[in-house]
Amino acid sequence: MTAEYSAGSRLEKIFKSGQKAVTGECGPPRGCDVEHFKHKANFLKGNVDAVNVTDNQTAVVRFCSMAASKILLEMGMEPVMQMVTRDMNRIGLQSNILGAAALGIKNLLCLTGDHQSFGDHPQAKNVHDMDSVMLAHTVKTMRDEGKMVSGTELQGRPRMFIGAAANPFADPQEFRVIRMGKKIAAGAQFIQTQCIYNMERFRKFMEMANDMGLTEKCYIMAGITPLKSVGMANYMKKFVPGLDVPDHYITRLKGVPKEKVAAEGIKIAVEQIQECLAMKGIAGIHLMAIEWEDHVPEIVQAAGLLPRPVVD
Amino acid sequence: MVIGEAKPVAEILEKIKDFKKIVVAGCKGCVTVCNAGGEKEVAILASELRIARKAAGNELETLEYTCERQCDPEYIEPLDDLVKDAEAIVSIACSVGPQYCTARYPYVPVFPGLNTMSIGGAAEHGVWKEYCQACGNCIIGDFGGLCPITRCAKQLLNGPCGGSSQGICEVGKGSIPCIWQLIYDRLKNLNQLHNMQEIKLYKNWSTSRDGGLRTTIREELKQ
């Protein structure tokens, strides 16, 4: 019955089976230290259904997401290859979509990417030939119509399960769901949200998504990033645009002895996961434990999400 | 208009260090309006260069002239008399000017005295902002008359990214309005929010710089 799947990735199969999916994240290093990457990835093995591999996140040069995705495949793990439109034009992007499919990568997350002024090469030229909505459309057109953006026929269609991101906390607030809807209409089959801290605002976002029928058309994964320390929580609140960390979480972290802050952060994350999973229209959790991959097994376990389902 | 900004004097001094006599050429067009390359700025720059060179014990002679425009060959012509006695030209027109000087004087070194910043306009006294990137296929009619190609740091066409916060773009340390917030507000006023709900697909960049050097031809005006 593979015909019913657009790509047949484990992630797609879990969603279609009606079970809640869990994805993790593993950022490639700023160098080609494969062992370090594999060491981090190993903490995720068996604890998540698929692993996002970031594409030069925050515009900092790292080893490329396609190579890292291939390494995960060789480790018996399933990658969600992230791809940003900041660094390549439609020629490079389509070439990489085809190359990724040829390597057996089946999940692709279409992003615009952070602006290079935040990264380690602020003098770089950006490309932005396309945006994330167009990229999702490109992958869908290549997969379903066997055509490139130019209309050129493909020899062999890339079977990709198409994802995109959504930030429910940026402005204008009323437009956030509409923008997610555009990504879905363009081709996104699953959405991973930005890190959620303001549960109230996220609840409203999901209500709007349900009202617009988007949760019927797409699998929405709630993005959770555990707060490792008070410093991290303050940083997220003050310096990361579009991130909304309510004071009550910071108060909670401050209220425990220093050696227990990390455990409190995990407790908060677990509560958030459970709260999100109880919301109508949430199809899974995207757990972004940034440089804290070793805590993923504990968090997933505590959230009652183990063992992970087995699909054919 | 084309917005220009004076280059640091030290940079110009370095470029002309081997010359004893130069022409400083201004332009009465856009760069006069934005106070960067008109008659007044020509006089100021020439005197700054002379003073610096005198202090360095290597006197410089400057010949000053401000062209009607530097983007028309016939208006470069009046420089001929000055250039014949000079070793180099510093043009403080937008970068079109130095290139027209270069075309007219094949054996005279030409240096820009300005950085050409943008196609823009005055925001307040002493402040100019960018409004256009000359993509060659204007689409602002779809966006309430505002340009996301120029004014969105990521050139998005499908609405604001996750870095739009309270009307401010995440790029520029709080100094840049999110153009998508302005487009949203504007379309709301015009009852045209549907324009932002439609998926915008691939832009044809071949009319932009990407398509190669652009020549604009009006057949009826050609002689």
| Cβ contacts of B223 within 8 Å, gap of 6 or more | none
- The predicted pLDDT at position B119 comes to 98
- The predicted pLDDT at position B14 comes to 98
- Residue A4: count of CB within 10 angstroms of its CB: 9
A252 touches chain B (CB under 8 A): no
- The predicted pLDDT at position A23 comes to 98
Q: Which of A205-214, A239-248, A262-271 has the lowest mean pLDDT?
A: A239-248
Cβ-Cβ contacts under 8 Å, B163 against chain A:
114-115, 170, 241-242
Q: Hey, what amino acid is at B162? A: G
Helices (H), B78-139: 80-83, 96-104
Which two tokens mark A11? 């992630």
User: Does some domain include residue A312?
Assistant: no
A57 touches chain B (CB under 8 A): no
User: Does some domain include residue A242?
Assistant: yes
| CA gap B135, A275 in Å, rounded | 47
Token look-up 């604890």 returns: A47
Q: Are residues B54 and B98 in the same domain?
A: yes
Q: A272 — phi, psi (to 5°)?
A: -65, -45
Q: Are the beta carbons of B45 and B5 closer than 8 angstroms?
A: no
Q: Are the beta carbons of A72 and A40 closer than 8 angstroms?
A: no
Give residue B113's domain range. Answer: 2-118
User: Does some domain include residue B222?
Assistant: no
Whether the CA torsion B197, B202, B208, B214 is positive or negative: it is: negative
| pLDDT tens for each residue of A247-293 | 999 999 999 999 999 999 999 999 999 999 999 999 999 999 988 99
| CA gap A122, A112 in Å, rounded | 17
Overall number of domains in chain A: 1
Q: B223: burial class by Cβ within 10 Å (0-12, 13-18, 19+)?
A: exposed
**Mutation site for A-interface testing, chosen from B164, B166, B184, B189 by largest number of A Cβ within 10 Å:** B164
Quick check: A242 and B170 CB within 8 A?
yes
User: Does some domain include residue A79?
Assistant: yes
Which two tokens mark A73? 């495949």
Q: Are residues B101 and B175 in the same domain?
A: no
Cβ-Cβ contacts under 8 Å, A112 against chain B:
154, 156, 161
- The predicted pLDDT at position A238 comes to 87
Q: Hey, what amino acid is at A256? A: V
What is the pLDDT tens value at each position of chain B, 223 positions in all? Answer: 999 999 999 999 999 999 999 999 999 999 999 999 999 999 999 999 999 999 999 999 999 999 999 999 999 999 999 999 999 999 999 999 999 999 999 999 999 999 999 999 999 999 999 999 999 999 999 999 999 999 999 999 999 999 999 999 999 999 999 999 999 999 999 999 999 999 999 999 999 999 999 999 999 998 7
Give residue A91's domain range. Answer: 9-300
Quick check: A131 and B158 CB within 8 A?
yes
Quick check: A175 and B184 CB within 8 A?
yes
Cβ-Cβ contacts under 8 Å, A242 against chain B:
162-165, 170
Quick check: B160 and A185 CB within 8 A?
no
- The predicted pLDDT at position A312 comes to 82
- Residue B187: count of CB within 10 angstroms of its CB: 20
| CA gap A175, B181 in Å, rounded | 10
User: Does some domain include residue A238?
Assistant: yes
- The predicted pLDDT at position B115 comes to 98
Q: What's the whole-number mean pLDDT along residues A193-219?
A: 97
ipTM for the predicted complex: 0.94
Residues 106..125 of A with a Cβ closer than 8 Å to B: which?
A: 112-115, 117-118
Quick check: A182 and B159 CB within 8 A?
yes
Model pTM score: 0.96
Question: For position B12, which CATH number holds?
Answer: 3.40.50.2300
Q: Are residues B78 and B141 in the same domain?
A: no
- The predicted pLDDT at position A251 comes to 95
Q: Are residues B56 and B140 in the same domain?
A: no
| Cβ contacts of B36 within 8 Å, gap of 6 or more | B3, B4, B5, B6, B92, B114
User: Does some domain include residue A306?
Assistant: no
pLDDT over threshold 50, residue A2: no
Q: Are the beta carbons of A222 and A275 closer than 8 angstroms?
A: no
The CB-side HSE value for A129 (13 A sphere, CA atoms) comes to 16
- Mean pLDDT (chain A) is 96
- The predicted pLDDT at position A1 comes to 39
| CA gap A103, A193 in Å, rounded | 27
User: Does some domain include residue A211?
Assistant: yes
| CA gap B101, B126 in Å, rounded | 28
**A193 three-state secondary structure:** strand
Task: Report which of A52, A6, A25 is spatially closest to residue A187, judged by C-alpha positions.
Answer: A6
Overall number of domains in chain B: 2
Question: For position A236, which CATH number holds?
Answer: 3.20.20.220
User: Does some domain include residue B170?
Assistant: yes
Q: Hey, what amino acid is at A188? A: A
Which two tokens mark B202? 């691939």
* DSSP code at position A20: P
